[in-house]
Structure 1
Amino acid sequence: MAKNTTQHYRMKKFLSYYIPYLRLFFADMGCAVIQSATTLLLPLCISYITKNILTEPTAGALNQIYIMGAIMLALVIVHTACNLFVSYQGHVMGAFMERDVRSELFDHYQKLSFTFYDEQKTGLLMSRLTNDSLNLAELYHHGPEDIVISLLNFIGAFIILININVKLALIVVLFLPIMTVYAFYFNKKMNVALRDSLDRIADINAQVEDTLGGIRVVKSFTNEQIEKTKFAYENNRFVDSRRYGYKSESYFYEGLVAFTQLMTISVVIFGGISIVNGSLDLSDLLTFILYIGILIEPIKRFGNFTRLYQEGITGFDRIMEILETQPDIQDAANAIKLTHVQGNIEFKDVSFKYKEGYSYVLKNLSLNIKAGEYIALVGFSGVGKTTLCSLIPRFYEVDKGRILLDGKNIKNVTLSSLRRNIGIVQQETYLFAGTVLDNIRYGKLNTSKEEIIEAAKKANAHDFIVTLPEGYDTNIGQRGIKLSGGQKQRLSIARVFLKNPPIIIFDEATSSLDNTSEKAIKDSLEKLTENRTTIVIAHRLSTVRNAQKILVLTKEGIIEQGTHEELIALDGNYANLYNMQLKL
């Protein structure tokens, strides 16, 4: 029952993409109807000439031939005009619908939470957005057109065939059930092969994305051959899937061609016998054979439609699998918008694990951070420092307990207003392809160049930016590849300076900086932390000596807290960490 409900929903969703283009769709279908009508009328014109004019020519025979020639010429012009409209405007309609599907899928990607992306490969998601939507566009355009033309041509041709000779028409009918069963059988095999093929090309995309994304690591370890081997494995899997698909397609199409040829041979043989017996004349047999050609055309179109349908609907199902994936973090029905945020953050018995079956990263953690307070989180890798900070903007949802912002449960406020009030500089710096100006402006889109320059100065980035070939208008390449690690980090910090939020989270933000830059950033951080709630995660304990409170996090939770001097005097975990770093 659930499966039927899902299929019904998906069919409604599939058809919904036609709604914005109904005028164009009906114009396209109208041209398809006219195209089918002209196809059926042309053999009738030829039959009229051969049967009514040439059998017993009269004095006005030439004029009649000229008139029929003019009519057929007009039919060809109309047929060509309609065909041009269907080919051009129909494809444009399909492209529009492909755009809409792709836009909806891209929008949905941005709604999905980190938990979803933790389990997915980027290449697979890209394949949904490109290959699958492209196959869908062809189905949207050619599908209805092929169905309309095939049905009209088949029904029209069959009615005319019955009127010419019932016995010969019945011979044609005998082939149809056999052809239908044959087509249905290999159609199912094609469906399986096409789905497998789409999965394999998605795997190729994932492998390419993984290799090219880490191309510098590949080259530094001279592991090109390993990557070639991995790519060859995925590439060969794709070839194997296509081999099976081509086999099914070959049996499908060539089998239908063989059946149509047998049908034509049967009509010629039994038609010839009928002529010898005097129950059929030659002109009728000629017309019958012409309409057999028209009758065969819908069968070929059906084969084309079957291929398009399998490719398109398989791609659509793969797209729907994503669209039907609900974000596990959404606004509550009565979520309120945060205004005038002070920055009081409180963790109340918070527990969190990444997946069912995994151990808790944080368990029964309680923490109170006052508005404007500058705190530092320290501890060994893997104890949950980054996880703790990721829970505040709801990148992940807590399993137990509550997180309060200014006394409000963050589950009861809108995600956009929550995240708008939090600035984050992450451990892994990400810059977009484009200019320096564009990347800093990402922190606050509607801003002036002067504000951007000021933010860059605060982040100690201005001096190196003006030395670039085109200054702030320099294109920094994909992921900021033309910049050093420290330069990229400073641009990401400048984005947060520009955003100017009441809450700031720095996740090991100075880890990629040299000592000189680190000191400059530390000075800027201290200015930025004034009257703002600031949480800094740091491995370098020297960067957080001036924090108002330092929290030492372990697997057991927060085991120490206090100022740098207080924790050194305590001579516990923090003191051990600090002394270890001094020796390095």
Structure 2
Amino acid sequence: MKQQEQRSAGTARRNTFREDEDLEEQIDFGDIKRIGAYLKPYLRQGVIILAAVLSMSAIAVAIPYMTKTMIDTVIPSKDPVRLFALGAVFLLAIVVYELLLRYRTVAITRVGQLMLKDMRRDLFTHIQTLPFSYFDSRPHGKILIRVVNYVNTLSDTLSSGLINVIADIFTFLLTLVVMFVIDWRLTLWSLVLMPLLVLYVLVLQRFQRRAYQRLSNKQSNLNAYIHESIAGVKTTQTFVREREQFHTFQEQQGQVRSSWMRAVHIQYLMWPGVQNISTITIALIYYLGITGLGGVQVTTGMLIAFVGYANNFWNPIINIGNFYNQLITCSAYLERIFETLDVRPEIEDRPGAIELPPVKGRVDFNDVVFKYEPGGRNILNLVDFHVPAGSTVALVGPTGAGKTTIVNLLSRFYDVTEGSVCVDGHDVRDVTLASLRRQMGVMLQDTFIFTGNVRENIRYGRLDATDQQIEEAAKAVHAHEFIMELPDGYDTKVEERGSTLSAGQRQLIAFARVLLADPRILILDEATSSIDTRTEEALQAGLAHLLKGRTSFVIAHRLSTIENADQIFYIDHGQIVEHGTHQELLAKRGAYYRLHESQYAMIRTANGDQAQSTQPGDDAGQDNQVRQDPAVSAQ
């Protein structure tokens, strides 16, 4: 528990692909015990598999004894009936053993893969609930490698190790009992090198664990860098930085290679060490059996059987050693997997949270103070405003002023530090997240388009929507026209992140998706930043009836888009500096007025330059004289 607390505390530390994550000094056997939770649903299958494996162990123990009987008793007696009967039993035992071996291999693999599926499911589901701060504090590649690579690394251990090690322990103990029954003196001689083996394993495991922890870090760093490089490939090509990217890649993969080789070198010290001790022990058995040293007196059949038992004795030890070897390796990956599962969502339903009933859309910010980290600076300082249902509120101001933070608190992507945010009088912290967000539509500047077709991306806003409803939403935001011009219309396939669409097209599709959800509260965070002026004007006309009756928060990209807002809040340094209608704020000649004048001064300058460059009769030049409002950056 203490290690889990330390682990959770360490997850907030920010890092990049150049920084290794923290390592735990000791193996946390609590992580290994937690694997049992994934075995529990398949306990019945596990018991059947274990029964089969124990039967195999019993056969493996019986075969050397049958060999002893045949050499010492049956062959000297020259009894063909007994020889045939024992041979038949011997053959039957081998056939049964091979059948059980096949069943064990298939069944264990099936159960192991089901356990991995459950673990990957839990990881993915849990990651969906984590706060934005978790994803902001680490490269996404380091998250991805935990869900895919690290879980896959556990495959052999979970597929065969857990059950086989129980069988190996059973075989070891049963063999040891039989060996003591046959000759206790020779058995004790067989155990003389056991302390050396235990010491060897204990020393080696410490170095091996550190080596695989380092390897997991370097693999995580490389994965993070590859993910970042793919996401930024357009920027790399634009600035012709392929060579620099390649050098960094070579550096990262070089560290993975050296870490891998070191880990492999250490790992493969285990098997030769155990094998050498086993070989020395068998040689000692032969020597004692032949010379009779130490009062050992054995027959030929007994000696051959004892060597067989020695193999049965050492093979489980080798297997247990290999399993321990795997466990050491996997512990480094389990540490990362359970570290992720132990991160508690910062934003989750409170005990006793209620379902938010259908809302009208009144929003109240009551003296809200917000900071991202305890002891950090205030992002919002005593923000207090009250918005009637159905009103449109615009938020403007410089970058970093706190505009996006306000709408994030309303959507409860973060919780306020002080004060409260209420919707229809309900504190958003007292209602379930699902019931709150179902009644909100959020449209961001960085729109995300999923792999699939256009229709599926719009339907994401409401999964039970009909094709007609989808088309009506698209028509309302003037997306229908360009969609019908696509090769297959609404069934046109789009690539990951909508790379085959223009930025404006992606935003129109995302707008249709939000409007299809029919939210009572609409949040537009620079939602029209990539739409040209003509499209935007058509879009505003189409949205007019949809915004009616909804509470809307618009983070302005162009001041021309918010002139008709019921209220405009000018945000600066986390406070509402001015508020009022467009005309009221212009009349005040304050911060909003200065922003308005500077923006339109840029427009007049741009239009003046454009007019000078336009030749008479140049239709293209006339078409270009469309007002282009410069962007007002938003947080």
* Alpha-carbon distance in structure 1 between the residues aligned to 2:303 and 2:451: 68
Corresponding letter in the other structure for 1:220: T
**Residue 260 of structure 1: aligned partner:** 278
Question: Which of residues 42, 65, 69 is equivalent to 2:63?
Answer: 42
Corresponding letter in the other structure for 1:391: L
- Relative to structure 1, is the Cα distance of residues 549 and 311 closer, same or farther in structure 2, using a 3 angstrom cutoff? same
Match of 2:571, SS state, is strand
Alpha-carbon offset, residue 163 of structure 1: 3.0
* Alpha-carbon distance in structure 1 between the residues aligned to 2:55 and 2:479: 67
Pairing 1:44-443 to 2, within 5 Å after superposition: 44-57=65-78, 61-274=79-292, 279-443=297-461
- Relative to structure 1, is the Cα distance of residues 8 and 177 closer, same or farther in structure 2, using a 3 angstrom cutoff? closer
Corresponding letter in the other structure for 1:15: G
Q: Structure 1 residues 72-81 or 3-12, which shifts more?
A: 3-12
Q: Please state if 1:15 is matched with 2:36.
A: yes
- Contact between 2:411 and 2:437, CA under 8 Å: does it hold in 1? yes
Q: Please state if 1:31 is matched with 2:52.
A: yes
* Alpha-carbon distance in structure 1 between the residues aligned to 2:545 and 2:341: 44
Match of 1:18, SS state, is helix
Pairing 1:390-539 to 2, within 5 Å after superposition: 390-539=408-557
Deviations 1:463-522 (A, max 9, x none): 111111111111110001110000001011011110111100100011011122111222
Say what the alpha-carbon RMSD is for the aligned residues: 2.0
* Alpha-carbon distance in structure 2 between the residues aligned to 1:88 and 1:19: 19
- Contact between 2:392 and 2:565, CA under 8 Å: does it hold in 1? yes
* Alpha-carbon distance in structure 1 between the residues aligned to 2:587 and 2:294: 118
* Alpha-carbon distance in structure 2 between the residues aligned to 1:183 and 1:466: 68
Deviations 1:43-70 (A, max 9, x none): 112111111122342xxx2232221221
* Alpha-carbon distance in structure 2 between the residues aligned to 1:560 and 1:498: 34
- Contact between 1:423 and 1:505, CA under 8 Å: does it hold in 2? yes
- Contact between 1:503 and 1:533, CA under 8 Å: does it hold in 2? yes
**Residue 588 of structure 2: aligned partner:** 570
- Contact between 1:136 and 1:311, CA under 8 Å: does it hold in 2? no
Structure 1 residue runs of 5 or longer lacking an equivalent are none
Q: Structure 1 residues 238-247 or 122-131, which shifts more?
A: 238-247
Alpha-carbon offset, residue 86 of structure 1: 1.1
- Relative to structure 1, is the Cα distance of residues 276 and 324 closer, same or farther in structure 2, using a 3 angstrom cutoff? closer
Match of 2:191, SS state, is helix
Corresponding letter in the other structure for 1:442: Y
Question: Which of residues 561, 565, 573 is equivalent to 1:543?
Answer: 561
- Contact between 2:185 and 2:296, CA under 8 Å: does it hold in 1? no
- Relative to structure 1, is the Cα distance of residues 62 and 8 closer, same or farther in structure 2, using a 3 angstrom cutoff? closer
* Alpha-carbon distance in structure 2 between the residues aligned to 1:362 and 1:18: 48
Alpha-carbon offset, residue 130 of structure 1: 1.3
- Relative to structure 1, is the Cα distance of residues 53 and 9 closer, same or farther in structure 2, using a 3 angstrom cutoff? closer
Deviations 1:268-319 (A, max 9, x none): 2222112999932222222221222211211220122112222333322322
- Contact between 2:396 and 2:571, CA under 8 Å: does it hold in 1? yes
- Relative to structure 1, is the Cα distance of residues 276 and 148 closer, same or farther in structure 2, using a 3 angstrom cutoff? closer
- Contact between 1:510 and 1:521, CA under 8 Å: does it hold in 2? no
Corresponding letter in the other structure for 1:158: L
Corresponding letter in the other structure for 2:516: L
Corresponding letter in the other structure for 1:73: L
Alpha-carbon offset, residue 4 of structure 1: 9.7
**Residue 612 of structure 2: aligned partner:** none
- Contact between 1:31 and 1:86, CA under 8 Å: does it hold in 2? yes
Corresponding letter in the other structure for 1:417: S
Structure 2 residue runs of 5 or longer lacking an equivalent are 7-27, 603-635
* Alpha-carbon distance in structure 2 between the residues aligned to 1:335 and 1:248: 53
Q: Quote the sequence identity (%).
A: 30
Alpha-carbon offset, residue 374 of structure 1: 0.8
* Alpha-carbon distance in structure 1 between the residues aligned to 2:470 and 2:407: 26
- Relative to structure 1, is the Cα distance of residues 167 and 388 closer, same or farther in structure 2, using a 3 angstrom cutoff? same
Alpha-carbon offset, residue 162 of structure 1: 2.5
Q: After the TM superposition, list the runs of 4 or more consecutive aligned residues in structure 1 that deviate by more than 6 angstroms.
A: 275-278
Alpha-carbon offset, residue 12 of structure 1: 5.2
* Alpha-carbon distance in structure 1 between the residues aligned to 2:420 and 2:489: 46
Alpha-carbon offset, residue 252 of structure 1: 1.8
* Alpha-carbon distance in structure 2 between the residues aligned to 1:351 and 1:277: 86
Corresponding letter in the other structure for 1:107: T
